[in-house]
Structure 1
Amino acid sequence: MPYTRVVLLTLLALVAFAGNSLLCRAALAHTQIDAASFTTIRLLSGAVVLWVLVVLRNRNRRDSVKVTGHGNWQSALALFVYAAGFSFAYIQLNTGVGALILFGAVQTSMIAFGLWRGERFTTAQWLGLLLAFSGLIGLLLPGLSAPPLTGAMLMIAAGVAWGVYSLRGKGAGDPLQVTAGNFSRTVPMALLLSLMLLSRVSLDSTGVYYALLSGALTSGVGYAIWYSALPLLKATTAATVQLSVPLLAALGGVVLLQEPVTLRLLLAALAILGGIALVVLTAKRL
Structure 2
Amino acid sequence: MKKSIFFTLVILTTFLMGSSFAIGKIGLGYSSPLLLAGIRFLLAGFIMAIIVKVLKRTHPSGMKNWGRAAIIGTLQTAGVMGCIFLSLRTITASESSILTFMNPLLVIILGTVFMGNRYRWYQWIGVVLGFIGVGITLGGINDFRIGIAFGAASAVFWAISTLLVNRWGEHFDTWVLSAYQMLFGGGILIFLSLLLEEPFFHINKHSLFILLWLSIMSSIVQFAVWYFLLQKGEPGKTSSYLFLAPFFGVLTGSVLLNEPISSSLIAGGIFILIGIYLVNNNYKKEVVDNTGYLLNKTK
TM-score range (shorter-chain normalised) is 0.7 to 0.9
The code of the aligned residue for 1:173 comes to F
- 2:291: which partner in 1? none
- 2:58: which partner in 1? 67
Q: Does 2:253 match 1:253? A: yes
> What's the offset of the Cα at 1:180?
0.4
- 2:154: which partner in 1? 158
> What's the offset of the Cα at 1:100?
0.8
| C-alpha distance in structure 2 between counterparts of 1:120 and 1:164, whole Å | 16
The code of the aligned residue for 2:135 comes to I
Give CA deviations for 1:210-264 in whole Å, capped at 9, x if unaligned. Answer: 1332122211221122122222233322321000001112111212221111001
* Kept after mapping to 2: 8 A contact 1:20/1:219: no
> What's the offset of the Cα at 1:55?
3.5
The code of the aligned residue for 1:114 comes to G
> What's the offset of the Cα at 1:204?
4.4
| C-alpha distance in structure 1 between counterparts of 2:2 and 2:172, whole Å | 25
**Partner-residue secondary structure (3-state), 2:198:** helix
Matches within 5 A, 1:159-238: 159-170=155-166, 171=169, 172-197=171-196, 199-205=198-204, 206-238=206-238
Structure 1 7/67 Cα, relative in aligned 2: closer, same or farther at 3 Å?
farther
| C-alpha distance in structure 1 between counterparts of 2:161 and 2:122, whole Å | 27
Q: Does 2:104 match 1:107? A: yes
Question: Which deviates more, 231-240 or 117-126?
Answer: 117-126
| C-alpha distance in structure 2 between counterparts of 1:195 and 1:87, whole Å | 15
TM-score (norm 1): 0.85
> What's the offset of the Cα at 1:14?
1.3
Structure 1 125/195 Cα, relative in aligned 2: closer, same or farther at 3 Å?
closer
* Kept after mapping to 1: 8 A contact 2:14/2:244: yes
**Partner-residue secondary structure (3-state), 1:268:** helix
Count of residue pairs brought into register by the alignment: 274
The code of the aligned residue for 1:67 comes to T
> What's the offset of the Cα at 1:3?
4.9
| C-alpha distance in structure 1 between counterparts of 2:125 and 2:190, whole Å | 44
Give CA deviations for 1:29-49 in whole Å, capped at 9, x if unaligned. Answer: xx2321122112111111122
Give CA deviations for 1:14-38 in whole Å, capped at 9, x if unaligned. Answer: 122123212112222xx23211221
> What's the offset of the Cα at 1:282?
6.2
The code of the aligned residue for 2:83 comes to G
- 1:36: which partner in 2? 34
* Kept after mapping to 2: 8 A contact 1:92/1:148: no
> What's the offset of the Cα at 1:122?
4.5
Structure 1 segments, 4+ long, off by >6 Å, are none
| C-alpha distance in structure 2 between counterparts of 1:225 and 1:55, whole Å | 20
**Partner-residue secondary structure (3-state), 1:91:** coil
Matches within 5 A, 1:91-130: 91-104=89-102, 106-116=103-113, 117-130=115-128
* Kept after mapping to 2: 8 A contact 1:140/1:147: no
Alpha-carbon RMSD: 2.4
> What's the offset of the Cα at 1:147?
6.8
* Kept after mapping to 2: 8 A contact 1:9/1:228: no
- 2:292: which partner in 1? none
* Kept after mapping to 2: 8 A contact 1:38/1:208: no
| C-alpha distance in structure 2 between counterparts of 1:37 and 1:119, whole Å | 37
**Partner-residue secondary structure (3-state), 2:101:** helix
The code of the aligned residue for 2:244 comes to S
Structure 1 121/72 Cα, relative in aligned 2: closer, same or farther at 3 Å?
closer
Could you tell me which runs of 5 or more consecutive residues in structure 2 were left unpaired when the two chains were aligned.
61-65, 286-297
| C-alpha distance in structure 2 between counterparts of 1:210 and 1:38, whole Å | 10
Could you tell me which runs of 5 or more consecutive residues in structure 1 were left unpaired when the two chains were aligned.
59-65
